[in-house]
């Protein structure tokens, strides 16, 4: 093999390593975006739930039709103005209406999806569930990693023991701690 051929082979190998490194950085960027998105989603739901509490404290217990209720009109128009379809805005409006009517915090933007999840897996089942099986179900949930980041951040900010930080997250999501 000539020196030129050897240099060409080394150059190709170097490009492959650089390219693989670029793939690694690109993939990590998507992971970081997802982590940020999870944290943003949790914060957005908490903000939504806090707004519903404010609405109810102002004495409003019902959101009317979007054709004649200013709150419903503006809610729907804001969702559509952000580039979403009217049907998507209608779905979110249903969630908004139900949250205001019941006063119960949401855990999912799409109320139909939340109801489907509630009917699906994870019920009481036969016998008593073990802590390990419950934790495994939580661990395999799509939002578990985002929850861990929030709990870890609270713990790192010296907000208390880990169980206090988990209770804080659960409360922010609308759960009642017994």
Hey, is 61 helix, strand or coil? coil
Task: Look at residue 50 in the predicted model and tell me its pLDDT.
Answer: 92
Task: Look at residue 20 in the predicted model and tell me its pLDDT.
Answer: 77
d(CA 32, CA 38): 10
Which of 6-15, 42-51, 142-151 ranks highest by mean pLDDT?
Answer: 42-51
d(CA 69, CA 73): 6
Q: Given pLDDT bands bounded at 50, 70 and 90, which one contains residue 124?
A: very low
In 3D, which of 92, 141, 129, 126 has the Cα closest to residue 112?
Answer: 92
Can you list the alpha helix ranges (DSSP code H) found in 58-106? 70-81, 86-102
In 3D, which of 136, 108, 107 has the Cα closest to residue 122?
Answer: 136
How much is the pTM? 0.54
Over residues 95-115, the mean pLDDT reads 84
Indicate if the pLDDT at residue 111 is higher than 80: no
Percentage of the chain exceeding pLDDT 90: 25
Over residues 145-160, the mean pLDDT reads 75
Indicate if the pLDDT at residue 38 is higher than 80: yes
Q: Please report, for the chain, the start and end positions of each structural domain, with discontinuous segments joined by +.
A: 9-120, 127-178
Decide if 100 contacts 52 (C-beta within 8 A). yes
């Amino acid at each position: 093999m000539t020196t030129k051929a050897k240099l060409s082979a080394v150059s190709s190998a170097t490009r492959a390593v650089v390219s693989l490194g670029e793939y690694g950085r690109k993939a990590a960027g998507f992971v970081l975006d997802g982590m940020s998105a999870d944290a943003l989603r949790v914060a957005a739901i908490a903000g939504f739930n806090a707004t519903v509490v404010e609405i109810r404290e102002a004495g409003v217990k019902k959101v009317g039709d979007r054709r004649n209720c200013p709150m419903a009109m503006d809610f729907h128009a804001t969702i559509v103005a952000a580039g979403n379809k009217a049907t998507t805005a209608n779905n979110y409006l249903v969630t908004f209406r139900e949250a205001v009517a019941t006063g119960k915090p949401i855990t999912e933007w799409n109320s139909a999806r939340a109801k489907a999840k509630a009917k699906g897996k994870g019920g009481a089942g036969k016998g008593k569930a073990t802590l390990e099986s419950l934790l495994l179900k939580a661990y395999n949930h799509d939002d578990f990693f985002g929850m861990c980041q929030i709990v870890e951040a609270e713990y790192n900010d010296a907000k208390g023991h880990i169980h206090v930080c988990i209770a804080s997250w659960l409360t922010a999501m609308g759960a009642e701690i017994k």
